[in-house]
Amino acid sequence: MSKASTQSYKVQFPAPYQENIIETDMMLEVIGRTFKAHPGNSVWYGEARIGKTITAGYMTRKIEEAYDPLNPHAFRALHYEVGEVEGWSGNEHKKGLKSLYYATIGKIDEGVYRHDPPEIIAGQIVHALIRKNIQMIFIDEAGKLSLDAIDGMLLVYNKAKTIGHSLSFIFIGMEDLPIKVTQKPQVKGRINEWCYFAAYSFDEMTKLLARLHPHFEKLDLKEEKDREQFEFMYEMFGGYPGLTVPFLMKLDRYSQEDKEPITVKYLRAVHLRTLLGQEKSIAKSLEIYRGRPPKHFTRKNLQHPANKAKSKNKGKQPDDKSSDDKKSKSS
């Protein structure tokens, strides 16, 4: 046995990556507009990895940091991600309320959920919000909710308004969220602010990169070699911070290990490690499953291709011998 085969891999835990949230002009504009609409509901819409969730988390954290129970105008905020509620799945109003109940109070009694009407459950949620002084709720991935589930959540807003408690829902999502909430007048009329998250321009991303990573901070856009690095980053990740930041984390760790200067060539090499793995994975998946998984996952489905080939060849040898015997007898 060779020495190499007896050596075991030594785990080296990576140091925690310090998340550096940069206040961009778009973030500050959205935060300001949402505050100005309070009490009232908002929709935040934009593509994935554009910064909606980061902005919601950042705004929630800032509200919590500034909260002072002695300040009569101060309030608290809640940010959570909702699960899917499909349309026409039945009892969607209550499913929306159940999601809010879990986020604000905790587990709901099954008997209460089944037998109490939605307005009673909504009232319980409002009293919990008053007790905790929560006035702003960020509902992430709201595009997964059905229209009736959103309508059920807005019943809490209506109840809060009736008894004089200021409350704002911020529905954050993608998919068809804007179209969905405008299909029902009762829902559309309760949306007071709309915020669209657009992809950052090249100039905005260069400024953001310089503030996110010390390497890019040292680069000069007037120098051709330096500008090429910014152009490569924008070509690969566009104006999406959610795609750029994970790459910067990997770049840090690879560069510390490789001890190489960061150039366009090195940036491309780091990116290709992920890209080639992705392309090969997708290609193999399409080859095996033809774009969709098999209907029934059995041991045969999950068998390794090499073992499949072996199983196919099993039994061929005896058949060949028997055929040779038949030939000799006939001759």
Whether 36 and 128 share a structural domain: yes
d(CA 165, CA 127): 9
Instruction: Say if residue 4's pLDDT is above 60.
Output: no
Whether 188 and 215 share a structural domain: no
Bridge partner residues of 42 (DSSP): 170, 193
**Residue 220, domain member (yes or no):** yes
Residue 52: CATH number of its domain: 3.40.50.300
**Residue 94, domain member (yes or no):** yes
Whether 180 and 243 share a structural domain: no
- Sheet harboring 76-81: ordered strands across? 76-81, 134-140, 168-173, 41-46, 191-197
First-to-final CA distance of the chain: 53
Once rounded to an integer, what is the mean pLDDT over residues 179-208? 96
Whether 93 and 123 share a structural domain: yes
Task: Of 157-161, 202-206, 305-309, give the lowest mean pLDDT range.
Answer: 305-309
Whether 151 and 219 share a structural domain: no
H-helix or E-strand containing 41?
Answer: strand 41-46
CB 233 within 8 A of CB 270: no
- Tell which wins on pLDDT, 251 or 325: 251
Share of the chain above pLDDT 70, in %: 85
**Residue 18, domain member (yes or no):** no
Instruction: Say if residue 320's pLDDT is above 70.
Output: no
Give the closest residue to 140 by CA, choosing from 194, 97, 78, 195.
78
**Domain boundary residue, one of 197, 231, 253:** 197
Please, what is the average pLDDT of the chain? 89
**Residue 331, domain member (yes or no):** no
What pLDDT is stored for residue 327 in this prediction?
47
Whether 142 and 238 share a structural domain: no
What is the domain extent for residue 145? 25-197
Share of the chain above pLDDT 90, in %: 75
Once rounded to an integer, what is the mean pLDDT over residues 282-289? 84
**Residue 12, domain member (yes or no):** no
Count other Cβ atoms within 10 Å, centred on residue 173.
22
Unique residue bearing structure tokens 């290709």:
272
Whether 178 and 239 share a structural domain: no
Whether 132 and 85 share a structural domain: yes
Task: Of 2-11, 20-29, 270-279, 282-291, give the lowest mean pLDDT range.
Answer: 2-11
**Residue 224, domain member (yes or no):** yes
H-helix or E-strand containing 136?
Answer: strand 134-140
Give how many domains the chain has, as a whole number.
2
Q: What is the pLDDT of residues 30-48, one digit of tens each?
A: 999 999 999 999 999 999 9
- Rounded to two decimals, the pTM is 0.82
Q: Residue 19 to residues 29, 54, 128, 212, 276: CA-CA distances in angstroms?
A: 22, 11, 33, 9, 27
Whether 254 and 163 share a structural domain: no
**At what angle are helices 264-289 and 241-258 packed, to 10 degrees?**
110
Instruction: Say if residue 302's pLDDT is above 60.
Output: no
Give the pair of three-digit tokens for residue 53. 């969730």
**Residue 313, domain member (yes or no):** no
d(CA 183, CA 62): 34
**Domain boundary residue, one of 142, 168, 197:** 197
d(CA 106, CA 132): 13
Whether 38 and 157 share a structural domain: yes
Whether 40 and 143 share a structural domain: yes
Whether 95 and 238 share a structural domain: no
**Residue 148, domain member (yes or no):** yes
d(CA 58, CA 68): 18
